[in-house]
Structure 1
Amino acid sequence: MTWINKYLTNDEMKKIEETISRVEEETSGEIVPVIVKRSSAIGHVPLVLTLILTLVFVLAEIPYSDWLWVTPWVWMWFPVLIVIYGVSFFLAKLHWFQKVFVSEADEIAQVHQRAQLEFYSNKIHRTEAGTGVLIFVSVMEKKAVILADEAISGKLPPDTWNNLLKDLRASLHDGHWHAAFTKAIETCGQHLKTHFPIAETRKNQLKNHLVVKE
């Protein structure tokens, strides 16, 4: 997944994983950072672009309609529509168009759904004491979510995560991805070790990996 290297180098990703290992030496909590390329469905984007570009083309050809809509020129509409769809399919792959044609409400809903999916698919809910934390970032939507398991949620108020998210989003917006994740993990660890200090028989239940997905 070479796209992630636009935001983090391989060395920076390794350092993030080292930060997880270091932080978890002081707490029984488990921290899992996840970055996905996008959460929102974009299958509708090529069709929407095709309709828009076709409408623009129809409006543009109105002055020439007297001869474009008669034989043999009328048959040119079929290859024109195929070309328009091909252009739309290409444009739909671009981040800007994907962002434009997904509403803010849909983005928020689908990012939270994807965060919940990653929470369960990465088995963060399977820790023995319910002390797993997901730090989730969806790149296309430029949104972040933090989900804490039941035991942690009962100890820490929502403002704890809201403040952490505020700092995380600000650093990501400034392009400081390595610093953003490092600080978020360290801050999360500070909160966790207060309520969930390291146990004498503590075992690492989740891999200390930075998870990157499409």
Structure 2
Amino acid sequence: MAWINKYLSEADLARIEASISKVEETTSGEIVPVIVRRSSAVGHVPLTLTLLLTLFLVIVEFPFSDWLWVTPWVYLWPVIVVIFFGLSQVLAKSKWIQKVFVPEKDELDSVHRRAHLEFYLNRIHRTEGGTGVLIFVSVMEKKAVVLADEGISKKLPKEHWDEILGMLGKHLHEGKWADGFVAAIEACGKDLQTHFPVISGKGNELKNHLIVKDV
């Protein structure tokens, strides 16, 4: 997954892991950061591009339709559509193209659904006392989500998590991805330390590293 190196270096990953370990020395809670390449479905993009390219060509050639839509030129249209589809398959690999063809509302819904899925897939909901916190970032959509389990969410209002999310988002917007994760981890750690201090003899329930997923 070489794509992650564009946003986080090996030193950054080690720094994030160290920040989790340091924070969890003072609390019985668990913090899990997750970053995924994208959350939105993009399978429709090649077909949409093909239709748009075909429509554009039909509009452009309209003044010449008297002779382009007769034999033998009319038989070129299936070939052109196939060529457009092949070109669209290549263009659809672009992150920028993918983002253009996914509406903002769909992006937001997809990112929140993926965040909730990762919350359960990574067993954050299984922590003792319901003290797990997910810090989730989806790269293509440039969106983040912070989810707290039942135990900690009862102690703090939604507005508090929005503040942490805003801080994370500010760092991501500035291109300081590692700083954003570390700041969010430390902020969550202060909350957990206050409400769920470390318990002697309690082991680490979840791994202390950034989880990176290609899809």
Aligned partner of 1:3 in structure 2 is 3
Structure 1 segment 63-102 matched on structure 2, within 5 A? 63-102=63-102
Aligned partner of 1:151 in structure 2 is 151
For structure 1, the 5+ residue unaligned runs are: none
Distance (whole Å) between structure 2 residues aligned to residue 64 and residue 158 of structure 1: 61
Distance (whole Å) between structure 2 residues aligned to residue 209 and residue 16 of structure 1: 7
Aligned partner of 1:134 in structure 2 is 134
Q: Could you tell me how far 1:100 is from its partner in structure 2?
A: 1.3
Aligned partner of 2:124 in structure 1 is 124
RMSD: 0.9
Q: Could you tell me how far 1:167 is from its partner in structure 2?
A: 0.6
Number of aligned positions between the proteins: 214
| Local SS of the residue matching 1:147 | strand
For structure 2, the 5+ residue unaligned runs are: none
Distance (whole Å) between structure 2 residues aligned to residue 65 and residue 105 of structure 1: 39
Aligned partner of 2:104 in structure 1 is 104
Q: Could you tell me how far 1:211 is from its partner in structure 2?
A: 0.4
Distance (whole Å) between structure 2 residues aligned to residue 168 and residue 51 of structure 1: 38
Question: Is residue 204 of structure 2 the alignment partner of residue 204 of structure 1?
Answer: yes
Distance (whole Å) between structure 2 residues aligned to residue 12 and residue 74 of structure 1: 57
Q: TM-score, normalised by structure 1?
A: 0.97
Q: TM-score, normalised by structure 2?
A: 0.97
Q: Deviations over 1:125-159 (max 9, x none)?
A: 11111110000001111111011111001111112
Q: Deviations over 1:70-102 (max 9, x none)?
A: 222111112111111111111111111111111
Aligned partner of 1:186 in structure 2 is 186
| Regions of 4+ moved over 3 Å | none
Aligned partner of 1:13 in structure 2 is 13
Aligned partner of 1:165 in structure 2 is 165
Q: Could you tell me how far 1:24 is from its partner in structure 2?
A: 0.4
Aligned residues: percent identity? Answer: 62
| Local SS of the residue matching 2:34 | strand
Aligned partner of 2:60 in structure 1 is 60
Question: Is residue 43 of structure 2 the alignment partner of residue 43 of structure 1?
Answer: yes
